[in-house]
């Protein structure tokens, strides 16, 4: 038997052992107890023949930050990580797409944001994995039901303030009378700058004559949010 054949048999055996272990974890319910890195190792084991899946998992977390960042990364970005390969990148993108579709189905039901903790969870989930500062406009009715949302691409708050007519058009489309503005600080704490505060107040003043109430402007961090208008964490 050639060396290549022996190596192929070893890799096939290793993969079989890893997949058997995954089956045992799933059937026993133990998988909920595993940290993110080990979850990644198990997923990589399905697509990688190499045995050092731990090193691949560590590099993915270092590169993309967390599971959400990995599953939102593009195939090109994923395939640049040594050990992931084309098949691994495709698997991660497939899982990411499934995750996105499940989230969209869950979001299809009317969502109410009447409590600060509900708002915080909602916003953190929306900004998870985004690497650049972006703005999210949330349109509500009088009862706090989310009528629609609009993610404004990476940029500054000036770009949002500069186009109040666009905001009004979207608000009319949803028949919304209330608006919440949120932007993320992907590389720092969710503390507003003086400029953040000034521009949020300016936008509130611009929209007030049009019967659109800016309820709050919120800065979103990795795990917490800060209300500009209330001057306190959510």
* Spatial separation of the C-alpha atoms in residues 172 and 114, rounded to whole Å: 22
Mean pLDDT of 25-46: 73
Mean pLDDT of 16-44: 69
CA-wise closest residue to 149 among 160, 136, 163: 136
Number of continuous H segments (helices) and E segments (strands) in the chain? 10, 6
Domain 110-233 CATH superfamily? Cytidine Deaminase, domain 2 (3.40.140.10)
The per-residue pLDDT for 129 is 76
- Per cent of the chain over pLDDT 90 is 10
The per-residue pLDDT for 3 is 47
* Spatial separation of the C-alpha atoms in residues 113 and 129, rounded to whole Å: 22
Is 65 exposed, middle or buried, given 0-12, 13-18 or 19+ CB atoms closer than 10 A? middle
Q: Is the pLDDT of residue 13 over 60?
A: no
Radius of gyration of the chain (CA): 22
Binning pLDDT at 50, 70 and 90, where does residue 114 land? confident
Q: Is the pLDDT of residue 199 over 50?
A: yes
- Per cent of the chain over pLDDT 70 is 77
* Spatial separation of the C-alpha atoms in residues 213 and 72, rounded to whole Å: 33
| Number of Cβ within a 10 Å radius of residue 211 | 9
* Spatial separation of the C-alpha atoms in residues 94 and 92, rounded to whole Å: 5
Binning pLDDT at 50, 70 and 90, where does residue 226 land? very high
Q: Is the pLDDT of residue 219 over 90?
A: yes
Higher pLDDT, 115 or 139: 139
Lowest-confidence pick of 27-36, 63-72, 214-223: 27-36
The full set of domain ranges for the chain reads 3-107, 110-233
The CA–CA distances, whole Å, from 129 to 92, 132, 196 equal 14, 9, 22
The per-residue pLDDT for 31 is 63
For residue 144, is it left (φ>0), alpha (ψ between -120 and 50) or beta? Answer: left
Q: Is the pLDDT of residue 223 over 50?
A: yes
Mean pLDDT of 54-79: 89
Binning pLDDT at 50, 70 and 90, where does residue 26 land? low
Q: Is the pLDDT of residue 5 over 80?
A: no
The per-residue pLDDT for 182 is 92
The per-residue pLDDT for 53 is 84
């Amino acid at each position: 038997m050639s060396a290549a054949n022996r190596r192929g048999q070893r890799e096939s055996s290793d993969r079989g052992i890893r997949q058997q272990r995954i089956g045992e974890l799933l059937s026993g319910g133990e998988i909920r107890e595993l940290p993110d890195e080990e979850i990644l190792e198990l997923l990589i084991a399905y697509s990688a023949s190499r045995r050092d899946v731990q090193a691949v998992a560590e590099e993915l977390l270092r590169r993309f930050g967390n599971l959400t960042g990995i599953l939102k990364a593009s195939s090109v970005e994923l395939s640049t990580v040594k050990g992931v390969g084309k098949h691994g990148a495709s698997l991660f993108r497939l899982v990411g797409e499934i995750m996105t579709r499940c989230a969209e189905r869950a979001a299809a039901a009317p969502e109410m944001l009447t409590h600060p903790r509900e708002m915080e969870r909602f916003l953190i989930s929306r900004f998870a994995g985004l690497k650049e500062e972006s703005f999210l406009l949330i349109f509500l009715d009088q009862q706090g039901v989310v009528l629609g949302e609009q993610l404004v691409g990476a940029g500054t708050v000036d770009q949002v303030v500069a186009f109040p007519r666009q905001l009004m058009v979207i608000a009319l489309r949803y028949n919304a009378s209330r608006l919440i503005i949120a932007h993320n600080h992907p590389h720092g704490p969710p503390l507003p700058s003086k400029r953040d505060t000034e521009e949020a107040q300016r936008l509130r003043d611009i929209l007030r004559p049009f019967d659109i109430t800016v309820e709050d402007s919120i800065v979103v961090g990795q795990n917490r949010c800060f209300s500009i208008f209330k001057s306190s964490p959510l």
